[in-house]
Structure 1
Amino acid sequence: MEEESQCGSSCGGDEMKGMMEKRELRHLFVTVFLSSFSIFLVFPALTDVTIAAVCPGRVSCSLAIYLTGFQQVIIGMGTVVMNPVIGNLSDIYGRKALLTFPLTLSIIPLAILAYSRETNFFYAFYVLRTLTAMTCEGSVNCLALAYVADNISEKERASTFGILSGFTSVSFVVGTLVARFLPTSLTFQVAALVSMLAAVYMRIFLKDIRPSDNGDSTLRQPILKEPEPVVERITDDDYTPKMKIEFKKMPSAGDLFGLLRSSNTLSQAGIITFFQCLAEGGMQATILYFLKARFQFDKNQFADILLLVGISGAISQMIFIPLMAPKFGEVKLLSTGLLLTCIGMFLDSIAWSPWIPYAATFFTSFGLLAQPTIRSIASKQVGPNEQGKAQGCIAGISSFANIVSPLVFSPLTALFLSEDAPFNFPGFSIMCLALATVIALIQSTMIRAPPAISGHSLA
């Protein structure tokens, strides 16, 4: 009886801790929502603001396309280095401490356009946005995923990653909806205010919790001493033994490649991430300019398109992933999302009427299934103390794809939208983006996710 009482007390304590940790995720979700809202609120207006600043009075502007592509390349060069570093440092100093950095820096460029959208202020925004995003872009999502992995068991991780991504999609919907009705003169002022609110909310309410080796949750304490490298062997039934390495604070490119080589599954996830993000980055850099030149879409129609993508994406992430992931697994969901994305991109590329891009959003929105499922697959291949490294590594690959994508597709889009196009196919660049997604789809059909490396469980 005494043993049963002790067991009941212990089990009840574990359940209570698990519930407390899941409640902490609510504060993380609110932080991600507010941060993403401030970004998405200005997104529909940026195309018009950019063209008005660099090419006043024109509908199509090659210079604006090149500037957007160049900015994306420079940002990608910074984040491909900084995301793995920030993820690695968060394993040592805590997610909250590292989250403060990007949330604070992101306020600065928004405040500039909140003050004025004249040409000189636009270029100041352009420069500062480029510099801050080299450090910040993608890091909030990377750290949020690592925070979730710290506090959620492996069997629930895919669903929770989907819910986290769903909150991003909901912020996308709300931000786009507000942008649809908010005057451009107020858009950047509201975005700057919400960005400040996100940083303050996170500092006040979010607790930095990490799993300890025995499964309990404790407040993360800074480790001031440089950890010694630790090497241990891991073995899968389907793969030969590999080496799992605990890196130093500043991981090198060799360290990151070593992590990818530690598992065939991680290597395949990296390849899929590259081609999926190559296509996604190309769409972000070109699709709005394509729609403006092809069908003379303006800010309101951009907002309508983005709103449809966000609503259907939120539904797929917050409902479809939690329902389907336990039954079919992340790999099948990943392939399904990539297949539907291919269909949507092909439809966009051959759009002959303004209603086609609206119809294509049903398919392209399922592309939002890709990142949560890839991140869940990668998360299960490393130990509990390497979640920041793993998520930072995947984020670094995504950033590298964002370097390559505008270098290739921005000039290609500008060429085929100009009068000097080699042949009459305005959507040729989008067709090429669809082919990149096909490569990711083929690779996803060959991925085999072995049993998770870590036996760590919190729930």
Structure 2
Amino acid sequence: MQEAVIGLSHLFMTVFLCCFANFMVIPAITDVTMAALCPGKDKCSLAIYITGVQQAIIGLGSLVMPLVGKLSDTYGRKFMLTLPITFSIFPLVILAYSRTKWYFYAYYVLKTLIAMVTEGSVQFLALAYVADNVEESRRGSVFGIMSGFASSSFVFGNVSTRFLSTSATFQVAAAKSVIALLYMMVFLPESVVKYRTESTETDCLLEKPPTKTWKLFKTLPSVNDIICLLRTSPTFSKAAVVAFFSNMADVGLHASLMYYLKAQFHFNKDQFADLMIIVGIAGSISQITLTPILTPLIGDEKMLSTGLFFSCAHMIILSVAWAPWVPYAAAMISIVATFAQPCLRSIASKQTGPSEQGKAQGCITGICSFANIVSHLAFSPLTALFLSDNAPFRI
């Protein structure tokens, strides 16, 4: 295990730096949106709707993730990782320069277009990179460690935001994105897959090692490929269903939580950062220390069930928050709730051959993206309604 982690150190650092830049702006973006669209107000239906529409459009575009995954199976993980990390720099630069109304709209449009084909791709391509280099029995543990690095970046990003001005937050985030790109290009080696010749559970999918010839249309995954993957492996199909519903619930919660906390308890950038720091610390402790120990002992399936149970408990407590301290207390449940995602990805990874890890992880990400669409279309109108003056009842 130790050798596998050391061998993947440059990947972990790449994920850390990239996530650091993206997580920094999360506590600040709600205040920026509200200030640009509804200055001086703590409630703004327009901000809720425009955020929901953006996320739904991003989710629709991200359905191409199986394509991105399959291209990474053919042309390499590092090559495909370069694209989302590079494009993520440009929206940050806009808000680093100015956060007035028209600059916000420029950021909004560019961010939406770029995220349509890059959202979530760094995470699932990194998972495929791990699967290339780690044997099946250890993937759940290493997936957890990688998620722990992402959670650590979440903590450091939010701590930085807590002590930076809004303008400095976006400037530092843009600089961190550039550093992440340069670090990856210099230090991260291309992943090398040792293809097996024996048949796998997904015999209907590609069995031969991909060639390096650039024949784009021959590499496009057809709908039949994805359907075959779901039909041939019952376990993968069940993992896909769990991914859909768990992601729909998570996205629905987080899409409305910040606007609810701002309207109900007048939270601002600093309180959002404090809350996310607690979540990030809890997730980091869990994924770096507990997941590698418990997964081999208990198994991916039981760890997944435990994580989902506590994730539901977390949502229920937040939904009835009656005082400003309740979200902080509920955030501690993340120490167990974060078991779910790395275990789910590990289960999916074990159902496909070594030449199809990118497509498998991309398929799960695409399903989660579709859940994003459904979730935002459902929860954005409900959030706007219950935070408006015409709410059916007060909560």
**TM superposition score normalised by structure 1:** 0.81
Secondary structure of the corresponding residue to residue 244 of structure 1:
coil
Corresponding residue number in structure 2 for 1:153: 135
1:33-182 to structure 2, matched below 5 A, reads: 33-81=16-64, 83-182=65-164
Are 1:385 and 2:367 counterparts? no
2:294 to 309, 312, 324: 324
Deviations 1:84-125 (A, max 9, x none): 111100111100111111110000000001111111111100
Are 1:209 and 2:191 counterparts? yes
Are 1:375 and 2:345 counterparts? yes
**Structure having the higher Rg:** 1
1:410-421 to structure 2, matched below 5 A, reads: 410-421=380-391
Would you say the 8 A contact 2:14–2:184 is kept in 1?
Answer: yes
RMSD (CA atoms): 1.8
Shift of 1:195: 0.2
Structure with greater contact order relative to length (CA < 8 Å, sep ≥ 6): 2
Would you say the 8 A contact 2:285–2:335 is kept in 1?
Answer: no
Are 1:273 and 2:264 counterparts? no
Partners of 2:67 and 2:200 lie apart in 1 by 24
Would you say the 8 A contact 2:141–2:292 is kept in 1?
Answer: yes
Q: How many pairs does the alignment contain? A: 385
Are 1:351 and 2:321 counterparts? yes
Letter in 2 for 1:318: I
Shift of 1:213: 3.4
Partners of 1:419 and 1:209 lie apart in 2 by 55
> Which runs of 5 or more structure 1 residues have no equivalent in the other structure?
1-14, 216-231, 236-241, 426-459
Partners of 2:324 and 2:5 lie apart in 1 by 44
Deviations 1:139-179 (A, max 9, x none): 00111000000001111110000000000000000000110
Corresponding residue number in structure 2 for 1:227: none
Corresponding residue number in structure 2 for 1:312: 282
Corresponding residue number in structure 2 for 1:339: 309
Shift of 1:365: 4.8
Shift of 1:367: 2.8
Partners of 2:84 and 2:155 lie apart in 1 by 22
Partners of 2:254 and 2:224 lie apart in 1 by 30
Shift of 1:210: 1.5
Are 1:246 and 2:206 counterparts? yes
Secondary structure of the corresponding residue to residue 205 of structure 2:
strand
Partners of 1:197 and 1:212 lie apart in 2 by 31
Would you say the 8 A contact 1:162–1:321 is kept in 2?
Answer: yes
Distance 1:356 1:203, change over 3 A: same
Would you say the 8 A contact 2:132–2:354 is kept in 1?
Answer: yes
> Which runs of 5 or more structure 2 residues have no equivalent in the other structure?
208-217
Would you say the 8 A contact 2:200–2:352 is kept in 1?
Answer: no
Secondary structure of the corresponding residue to residue 263 of structure 2:
helix
Partners of 1:251 and 1:213 lie apart in 2 by 19
Partners of 1:233 and 1:191 lie apart in 2 by 45
Deviations 1:54-109 (A, max 9, x none): 0011111110011111000010011112x111110011110011111111000000
